Chains A and B, each alone.
Chain A
Amino acid sequence: MNTKTHIDQSLIKTDEMVLNMGPQHPSTHGVLRLKIHTDGEIVRKIEPIIGYLHRCFEKHCENLGYEQIVPFTDRCDYIASMHMNHGYALALERLMGIELPPRVEYIRVIVGELQRIASHLVALGTFGLDIGAITPFTWMIRDRERVLDLFEYLCGARLLYNYIWVGGVSHDLPEKFIRRTKEFLDYFTPQIDEFDQLLTFNKIFIERTADVGILPPDVAVNYGVTGPSLRGSGVNWDLRKNDSYSVYPDLEFDIPVGTGQMGSVGDCWDRYYVRMLEIRESIRIINQALKAIPAGDVHAAIPKKVRPPKGSVYSRFETARGELGYYIISDGKNIPVSLKMRSPAFCNLSVISEIAEGWMISDIIAILGSLDIVLGEIDR
Chain B
Amino acid sequence: MSEIWTSTMEIFTSYGSMISLAGVAIFGVMAVNALVAVYFERKVSAFMQDRLGPMEVGIFGFTGGKNFWGGIGQTIADALKLLTKEDILPDSADKKLMILAPFIIFIGAFVTFIGVPFSSVLLVSHFNIGIFYIIAMSSVGVVGIILAGWASNNKWSLYGSLRSAAQIISYEIPAGLSLILVVVVAGSLNIHQIVEWQADHRWFIFHSPMTVLAFFIYFISGVAETNRTPFDIPEAESELVAGWMTEYSGFRWALFFLSEYANMLIISILASVVFLGGWLSPMELFSVFPDSWLILDGVWWGAFWILIKAIILIFIMMWFRWTFPRLRVDQLMHLCWKILIPFALMNLVLVCIWELV
Contacts and interface: CB of A to CB of B under 8 A. Distances in A.
Interface of A: 17, 19, 25-27, 41, 128-135, 138-139, 142, 198-199, 202, 204-205, 207-208, 360-363, 365
30 contacts: A19-B155, A25-B241, A26-B237, A26-B238, A27-B239, A132-B230, A132-B238, A132-B324, A132-B326, A133-B324, A133-B326, A134-B49, A134-B322, A135-B48, A135-B322, A135-B323, A138-B50, A139-B49, A139-B50, A199-B325, A202-B324, A204-B324, A204-B325, A207-B327, A207-B328, A207-B331, A208-B328, A208-B331, A361-B159, A362-B326
Given A25-B241, A27-B239, A362-B236, A131 B159 contact: no
Contacts of B323: 133, 135, 198
A132 to B, nearest CB: 3
Interface in B49-68: 49-51
Given A25-B241, A133-B323, 15 more contacts: A17-B155, A27-B238, A41-B330, A128-B325, A132-B325, A135-B48, A198-B323, A204-B325, A208-B325, A208-B328, A208-B331, A360-B329, A360-B330, A362-B239, A363-B328
B229 interface: yes
B230 A204 contact: yes
Interface of B: 45, 48-51, 155, 159, 229-230, 232-233, 236-241, 322-331
Nearest to B331: A207
B325 A202 contact: yes
A19, A362, A363: most-surrounded residue (chain B CB, <10 A):
A362
Contacts of B324: 132-133, 202, 204
B78 to A, nearest CB: 19
Contacts of B322: 134-135
Top-10 shortest CB links A-B:
A132-B326, A138-B49, A133-B325, A27-B238, A131-B325, A132-B325, A362-B328, A130-B238, A205-B325, A204-B325
Contacts of B329: 41, 360, 362
Given A138-B50, A208-B326, A361 B155 contact: no
Contacts of B233: 362
Nearest to A366: B328
A250 B225 CA distance: 58
B51 to A, nearest CB: 6
Contacts of B236: 132, 362
B326 A131 contact: yes
B325 A26 contact: no
B49 A361 contact: no
A365 B238 contact: yes
Nearest to B238: A27
Contacts of B48: 135
A223 to B, nearest CB: 25
A208 B327 contact: yes
A202 B327 CA distance: 12
Nearest to B229: A132
A41 B236 CA distance: 14
Contacts of A363: 328
Nearest to B155: A19
Nearest to A131: B325
